[in-house]
Amino acid sequence: MASANGKGKLFEYAVLYHPKQTKEEHDRGELPKSVLLIPATPILAGSEDEVAIIAARNIPQEHLNHLEDVETVVRPF
């Protein structure tokens, strides 16, 4: 998915996990903290969609069963 002239664009992506609040946390009035699964990673790609696909492929196996709590963020430069 490279651009027509063959040049990639610079992007950065990160993957976050936002755990659901447990009953114990709720009872204590605490909110669970988000976890950085993949730190900000620079990448050359043709589009933000391409970066999102690459990031999704790198999500750790143990988080694939709760993707609704996983967020991928992409930033173009």
Confidence band, pLDDT 50/70/90 cuts, at residue 7:
confident
pLDDT of residue 5: 64
Report CA-CA distances (Å) from 28 to 7, 22, 24, 61, 68: 52, 10, 6, 31, 24
Report helix, strand or coil for 74. Answer: strand
In total, the chain counts a number of residues equal to 77
pLDDT of residue 4: 55
Kindly list the domain boundaries of the chain, sorted by start residue.
Answer: 9-76
**What's the whole-number mean pLDDT along residues 37-54?**
97
In the predicted model, is pLDDT for residue 3 greater than 60? no
Predicted TM-score (pTM) above 0.85 = no
Quick one: which of 73, 69, 71 has its CA closest to 21? 69
